[in-house]
Amino acid sequence: MRNKILAVALVAIALSGVLSLFWYQELVYRLPTPIPKDFVSVATGHRIQLPANVRLPGSKPVLLHFFNPECPCSRFNIKYFLTLVKHHGKDIRFMAVVPGNEDLAAAREMLGGEVPVLPDSGQQLSRRCGVYASPQAVLLDAQGVLYYRGNYNRSRYCNQKKTSYAEIAIESLLARNPSPGFDALATRAYGCQLPGRE
């Protein structure tokens, strides 16, 4: 009888562990990322004042890829992000933004070294862009005006073409169209909270 209780307890513990892992690694990211208390919304069409240490090429639109090597969600869409880089690298300047200097090496390795990686110590850049989660795409036109800020896709695996919001935004920008209106699924951030923005 004692062994039966122990066996049931063991299975219950293991099941709890498995569920916890799935929860913290996946399920929690299916919910909108909690909005930080000090969040200040930045509307599209707003010109972003970049920090002094961030210099953008003035000739091309820029896509700031808010990336966190520690975040499972960030890792999930690396492949998709690199696909975007490959397709639109000539017209758009892709830049990855990591939470701090300590993430630089890991981010460079994960992104294959093709994309420049900016450290966002103090989260100045993310605040100015209205970003509080990763992965998030911030698309600025050549003048530094916010064209799109939001998720890459409704699906965390970025494989739903209809909801590949970032790509749709890029194509719209390149077509010189005004910023398309996206629903909340695009603009409400899903993913990991950025460090210091809880």
Partner 1 sequence: MDTKKNHVNPLPESIHTEIRRTGDRIFAISLGCYYLFGLVIAFQYGTFLIAFGVGGLSLAAYYGSKWLLPKHGFYQYVGSAVVAVFTAQFIYQMHGLFEMHFFVFIGAALLICYQNWRLQLPNIILVVAHHAGFAYLQYRGEKEIYFTQQEYMDLPTFIIHGALAAVVVWICGYWSWMMERRTAKELAIKADVVRQAGNVQRNIAFAESISQGHMDSAYAIADDDDELGRSLLKMQESLAAAQRKDAKDKFVTLGLAQMGDILRSGADIETLSYRIISHLVKYLKANQGGVFILEDQENDPHLRLTACYAYERRKYMAKRINIGEGLVGQAAQEADKIYLTDLPQNYMRITSGLGDANPGCVLIVPLKFNGQVEGVIELASFTLFADFEVELVEKLAESIASAVATTRTNETTRKLLDELQQQTEMLGAQEEEMRQNMEELAATQEGMERQRAEMEEVRQMEIQRFQARIRELEGQVLA
CB of 54 to partner 1, least distance (A): 27
Please give the residues from 169 up to 198 whose contact with partner 1 meets the rule CB under 8 A. Answer: 185, 190
Nearer to partner 1, 110 or 137 (CB): 110
Site for partner 1 contains 105 (CB under 8 A):
no
Site for partner 1 contains 22 (CB under 8 A):
yes
CB of 83 to partner 1, least distance (A): 14
* DSSP type of residue 180: P
Site for partner 1 contains 76 (CB under 8 A):
yes
Site for partner 1 contains 168 (CB under 8 A):
no
* DSSP type of residue 30: G
Site for partner 1 contains 157 (CB under 8 A):
yes
Nearer to partner 1, 91 or 109 (CB): 109
Residue pair 68/140 in contact by the 8 Å Cβ criterion: no
Q: Which run of H or E residues covers position 92?
A: none
The first and second tokens of residue 21, run together, are 């892992």
Which residues, including other chains, have CB under 8 Å from residue 179's CB and lie 6 or more apart?
A: 44, 45, 147, 148, 169, 172, 173
The only residue of 53, 143, 159, 177 in contact with partner 1, by rule CB under 8 A: 159
CB of 183 to partner 1, least distance (A): 9
CB of 65 to partner 1, least distance (A): 17
Q: Which run of H or E residues covers position 18?
A: helix 2-25
In angstroms, the CA 54 to CA 19 distance is 41
Residue pair 146/128 in contact by the 8 Å Cβ criterion: no
The only residue of 154, 171, 195, 196 in contact with partner 1, by rule CB under 8 A: 154
Question: If we measure between CA atoms, which residue out of 59, 61, 20 comes closest to residue 171?
Answer: 61
The only residue of 23, 28, 32, 105 in contact with partner 1, by rule CB under 8 A: 32
Query: For the range 160-167, what are the long-range contacts, defined as Cβ-Cβ under 8 Å and sequence gap of 24 or more?
Result: 165/137, 166/63, 166/84, 166/137, 166/139, 167/84
Site for partner 1 contains 83 (CB under 8 A):
no
Q: Interface with partner 1 by CB under 8 A: which residues?
A: 3-4, 6-7, 10-11, 14-15, 17-18, 21-22, 25-26, 30-32, 72, 75-76, 78, 110, 154-157, 159-162, 185, 190
